[in-house]
Amino acid sequence: MMRLVVDTSILISSLIKDSITREILLLLFISFYLPEFALEEIEAPTAS
């Protein structure tokens, strides 16, 4: 199994736009990892 670290900006852009990046993130044979602060970065703009 392949393991990849995903940056927050990559995650957000793959959710917004239908792209090859989204298709890769949906592959079941790859494990993806996010830094711990990634969810904080995603929530920060909505917290204010």
Which tokens in the block code for residue 33?
A: 């990892």
Q: Which residues span the domain enclosing 26?
A: 2-47
Look at residue 41 in the predicted model and tell me its pLDDT: 81
Contacts (Cβ under 8 Å, ≥6 apart) of 11: 25, 34, 38, 42
Collect contacts of 38-42 with beta carbons under 8 A, ≥24 apart.
38/6, 38/7, 38/8, 38/11, 41/8, 42/8, 42/11, 42/12
Number of compact structural domains in the chain: 1
Look at residue 42 in the predicted model and tell me its pLDDT: 78
Look up the pTM and report it. Answer: 0.61
4-18 pLDDT, tens digit per residue, is 898 888 888 888 989
8-48 pLDDT, tens digit per residue, is 888 888 889 899 989 988 888 989 898 888 888 877 766 55
